[in-house]
Amino acid sequence: MLQQALDVAPPPRLNTAQDRAEHAARQRRLLVAQEDERVMAEWRRRHPKDVAYEQVYWARRREEDTRRRREERLDRRRRKALANAHADIVAARGRSFFTENDDRWLDIWLSTSDDTDEDDDSDDGSD
């Protein structure tokens, strides 16, 4: 398919020596990428067990990352809830159980993104 597209496409306009050099560099990178794809396809064909092991590894990594993100999100929500509850107690003239310089006061400002739920697997950086 690529060769057919190259056969039909008009030749690039190369006006300067720099244009020709950039074009040649792009062509070399394209050839390297194509050779890499060919070699990887051959490797996958010759080593199907390695491919299967790799797929299992990445599936496990995705599962662990999802679990870790879910736990971090839950921890942020718990810390924020504690800090907010404490602030409510102090606002109602209750006694503080945080010291004045306690870092837990900062947890009030944690972003917990109310539009997500505990089963949300996406990690778009908004929480």
SS3 letters across 8-75: HCCCCCCCCHHHHHHHHHHHHHHHHHHHHHHHHHHHHHHCHHHHHHHHHHHHHHHHHHHHHHHHHHHH
Quick one: pLDDT at residue 82? 85
* 127 has a pLDDT exceeding 70: no
Q: What is the pLDDT of residues 27-52, one digit of tens each?
A: 999 999 999 999 999 999 999 999 99
Which residues make Cβ contacts (< 8 Å) with residue 127, sequence separation at least 6? 73, 76, 111, 112, 113, 116
More confident position, 6 or 14: 6
- What does the pLDDT read at residue 84? 84
pTM of the model: 0.51
* Residue from 38, 44, 47 nearest 2 by CA: 38
107 in Cβ contact with 83 (< 8 Å): yes
**What DSSP character marks residue 98?**
S
- Name the 3-class secondary structure at 81: helix
State the chain's mean pLDDT as an integer. 82
CA distance 97 to 104: 11
The count of residues in the chain is 127
